[in-house]
Structure 1
Amino acid sequence: MLGLCLGLAGTLWAHVPTDHFTLAWNHSIEKIRWEEDYNITPQGLVLTEARVEGTGAGMDIPDDAYLKNGSWHYRPKLPILPKLRLGRTPEAGDFDICFAQHSGEVQCQRMSHWIGAPNKQDAAVELWSCDSPP
């Protein structure tokens, strides 16, 4: 089964057993929530939809976005991502990873649940598609 791997420089730190997830965070300056939905495929991560609750520094809303339930929704036009590299520092806060449990309920957990708190030594993390570990 495919899942989401988290690590850096090819070293696996954690495996999240899901084939679809939402990556969410608060903008470090504006404190506005961003969410991105991804499907996990053998080729990589496919960004299917993004949402942002407002605008601010470096946060332009795409022309084709629509407002629904207090967030701007849009579909980014990106190729399949073999890896997604994220900056992760104590000052910026942490990311949330949300995915459906076997019961169908969506659960969100801080990335720190999987790989520990953000720190200055490992100021980045990579996400990629991978098979479940043995």
Structure 2
Amino acid sequence: MARLQNERDKLLAARRALTAVTFTVIEAPSCVPVRPHHLFGERGQFIDWLRRMVAAAAPHALSTAQLADAAQEAFGLVLIGKERKRFIDNSLRYALHRLAKRGEIEACHDHSLRKTRSGLWRWKSEHTLADLERLREL
């Protein structure tokens, strides 16, 4: 019975210690709040912005790097090194591929270049850049 009482006292002490630590962590003022997934405003705002950027550059193409720089400026993002690469690989490319899949933009990548080169994207149109240059000369 004494052994069980001793075991019970240890478990209750451990429970009190865990409770104290849990409340300390939750209520600690030095904790950084979790950043919500609204870096770009409301839902769909980033892809709408991207659509407007590519459409405004038409008939010329914009590179992924140019779009990343413009996004950083437009949304006040400070992305350096791995954070920038993660943003480009995840958020930006995902949105670009979604727009391409919808048929709104098209990829103009030169596959003969190295894979490390930035991709090119332009607003999808029935006219090519060469067609528009010929029309300008008329």
After TM superposition, is the score higher than 0.5?
no
Q: Which has the higher strand share?
A: 1
TM-score (norm 2): 0.23
Give 1 or 2 for the bigger CA radius of gyration: 2
Greater RCO (Cα-Cα under 8 Å, separation 6 or more): 1
**TM-score (structure 1 length as normaliser):** 0.24
